[in-house]
């Protein structure tokens, strides 16, 4: 996908095309297409909600950068960079978001903490999120190829009220994980407690 967006040099010394090429080298074609759809969705939300469009582009493109690495890379990074040792008990679903920024910093030279936090929080959310962080969380959930029960409602709510979209996704993800007997990462519960009870979401 092409874009007329020109990067400023503030967050990466790469052009968008150079960044795309580096990301493409690490992802299978379907995943590479997904991150470009997330980018475009994040750019549209950034325009609507007054966030930085360049940061939305970069964060959308890099959010799944580490998704297709072997488990051994994550375990090595958790050890080498002295991350929370409990992380070693989790799996790719959690690692690609929480540990992914370690690879993004070192391999892509992107250090902006808001972009890195948007990646860290994109799977589990976080009790506190900036507008950009909320946008990446939602763009990943509602990008045009997403197809699940409730996606139309998720898109409609996100267009109406970004915080309501965050609450909707958070409720649905936790409910899905419980229905599937999956382990709940503690941050997922913290996000639920911060966003759902006070959201005004009606069941
Ligand atoms: P993707 O990387 O674009 O496929 O999307 P995400 O990064 O949002 O999600 C990756 C996977 O993590 C999905 O299958 C989610 O259901 C799963 N996931 C989200 N939160 C949790 C959690 O707390 N525990 C577990 N076990 N999985 C989770
Ligand atoms: Fe992801
Ligand atoms: Fe994703």
**Quick check: 71 and 147 in contact, CB under 8 A?**
no
Instruction: Please say if the pLDDT value at position 3 is more than 80.
Output: no
* Alpha carbon of 86 to ligand 1 centroid (Å): 17
Instruction: Please say if the pLDDT value at position 1 is more than 70.
Output: no
Instruction: Please say if the pLDDT value at position 2 is more than 90.
Output: no
The residue whose two tokens read 């052009």 is: 15
Please tell me whether the overall predicted TM-score, pTM, comes out greater than 0.85 for this model.
yes
* Alpha carbon of 163 to ligand 1 centroid (Å): 20
Three-state DSSP class for residue 6: coil
Mean pLDDT of the chain: 97
**pLDDT score for 117:** 99
Per-residue pLDDT tens digits for 168-202: 999 999 999 999 999 999 999 999 999 999 999 98
Q: Which atom of ligand 1 is nearest to the CA of 141?
A: 8
Instruction: Please say if the pLDDT value at position 102 is more than 80.
Output: yes
Question: What count of residues does the chain have?
Answer: 203
**Cβ neighbours of residue 89 closer than 8 Å, sequence gap 6 or more:** none
Give me the DSSP letters along 46-111: HHHHT--HHHHHHHHHHTTTTTTS-HHHHHHHHHHTT--GGGGGS-HHHHHHHTHHHHIIIII---
């Amino acid at each position: 996908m092409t874009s007329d967006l020109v990067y400023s040099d503030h967050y990466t010394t790469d052009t968008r095309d150079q960044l795309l090429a580096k990301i493409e080298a690490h992802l299978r074609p379907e995943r590479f297409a997904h991150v470009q759809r997330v980018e475009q969705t994040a750019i549209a939300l950034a325009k609507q909600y007054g966030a930085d469009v360049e940061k939305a582009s970069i964060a959308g493109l890099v959010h799944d950068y580490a998704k297709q690495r072997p488990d051994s890379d994550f375990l090595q990074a958790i050890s080498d960079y002295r991350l929370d040792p409990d992380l070693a008990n989790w799996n790719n679903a959690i690692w690609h978001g929480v540990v992914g920024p370690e690879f993004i910093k070192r391999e892509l030279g992107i250090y902006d903490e808001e972009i890195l936090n948007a990646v860290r929080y994109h799977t589990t959310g976080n009790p506190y999120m900036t507008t950009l962080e909320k946008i990446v969380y939602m763009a990943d959930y509602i990008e045009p190829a997403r197809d699940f029960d409730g996606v139309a409602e998720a898109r409609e709510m996100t267009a109406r009220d970004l915080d309501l979209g965050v609450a909707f996704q958070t409720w649905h993800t936790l409910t899905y994980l419980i229905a599937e007997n999956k382990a709940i990462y503690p941050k997922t519960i913290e996000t639920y407690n911060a966003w759902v009870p006070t959201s005004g979401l009606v069941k």
